[in-house]
Amino acid sequence: MKSYREELWFQTDTRRAYLNITAQVEAAVRKSGVREGLCLVNAMHITASVYINDDEPGLLQDYDDFLERLAPHAPTSHYRHNRTGEDNGDAHIKRQLMGREVVVAITDGKLDFGPWEQIFYAEFDGRRRKRALIKIIGE
């Protein structure tokens, strides 16, 4: 069995951002040489997420609006976590809602997606360097 590991690094200019990382993950699959297996992609920070959905601008804005309604950034005083000196209590909750990771099957050397599926890195407390892990295993 083969195993391949790669990190993707990000630094967004804004607190929240949704980045389509499908092409980077596909490139990692090609580099791995795995033809049949699994590809895990996970955010390695507790205020970011990796998820799969459609790359449609209206949907991305809907996610952002939905998450901000459920866990608004302000007022920051509403979050006990922020008593530690942080201002990102909302980002931890947004990450929990969107999830940490995705696993995609690799078939015939390609990500085995359904229609419209794309992989996204979601940032909820940006403006500093963070990373996502790609781990590929298989034959």
pLDDT of residue 18: 97
Hey, what are 13's tokens?
A: 């200019």
- What whole-number distance in Å separates Cα of residue 16 and Cα of residue 89? 13
pTM assigned to the model: 0.96
Domains of the chain in start order, with CATH, are: 2-138 (2.60.120.460)
- What whole-number distance in Å separates Cα of residue 115 and Cα of residue 19? 19
3-state secondary structure 21-34: CHHHHHHHHHHHCC
**Residue 51's closest CA among 6, 3, 95?**
95
Segment 78-101 mean pLDDT: 97
Q: Which amino acid is at 10?
A: F
Segment 56-74 mean pLDDT: 97
